[in-house]
Amino acid sequence: MRQFTLPCAMLLSLASGLASAQTNVPLTPQGVPPGANPATGARPGNEIGTGMSIPMGNRASNISPSDTNSPIAPNLPSPNVGNNATAPAYLTAARNALAAGRTGEAQQSLEMAQTRLLDRSVPYGQTNTPSANPVVSQISQALQALSAHDNARCMQLIEAAIPNARAMEAASN
């Protein structure tokens, strides 16, 4: 009986320690942090479903460890191309934003173009296999150049990716 009681007592003391550690987080009666919307849990300034959230940012950041200053990535400006735009449209928006010095919008456009290209069908069990799409690779390289503040190289990579993305789009139609 003693062999059973000692492990149970240790387990109970560990569990109570974890429970007391969790109660240090202040929560409202609705179970959300103070200041958050009781119905959604969203912090002030974060309107769910609108694309508006804080912190806001206009400069490219949080692409690589070298340009990450906060664990919370800022909400970047979206390109003015519409929600159903194609990868080439997003790449063109990235080129235009970068040419105008709007690096945050360029980053958002590149990420949206890459997302469009990653929308693919894969066999069951191979969902973790990286895309072999060369345009996805070009966009990744452009993002890394943007992270390194090498806007000229980023522009070259975007310019090279646009016709490749257009060719892929034409081939799929």
Query: Which position has the higher pLDDT, 38 or 138?
Result: 138
CA distances (Å), origin 50, targets 43, 47, 58, 108: 14, 6, 18, 16
Give pLDDT, residue 114.
94
Give pLDDT, residue 140.
95
Tell me: the pLDDT tens digits for 111-131? 999 999 988 777 888 888 888
Helix (H, G, I), strand (E, B) or coil at 74: coil
Residue 73 has pLDDT above 50, yes or no: yes
Closest CA to 103 of 50, 48, 61, 44: 61
pTM of the entire structure? 0.67
Residue 60 to residue 136: CA distance in whole angstroms: 19
Helix (H, G, I), strand (E, B) or coil at 52: strand
State the average pLDDT over residues 24-43. Answer: 67
Give start and end residues of each alpha helix (H) in the chain.
Answer: 2-22, 87-99, 103-118, 134-147, 151-172
State the average pLDDT over residues 30-38. Answer: 69
Predicted confidence band at 51 (pLDDT cuts at 50, 70, 90)?
Answer: low
Predicted confidence band at 48 (pLDDT cuts at 50, 70, 90)?
Answer: low
CATH architecture of 82-122+131-172: Up-down Bundle (1.20)
Give pLDDT, residue 72.
66
Predicted confidence band at 20 (pLDDT cuts at 50, 70, 90)?
Answer: very low
Measured on CA atoms in the order 49, 55, 57, 62, is the torsion positive or negative?
negative
Could you give the angle at which helices 103-118 and 134-147 cross, rounded to 10 degrees? Answer: 160
Residue 25 has pLDDT above 60, yes or no: no
Give pLDDT, residue 21.
39
Could you give the angle at which helices 87-99 and 103-118 cross, rounded to 10 degrees? Answer: 170
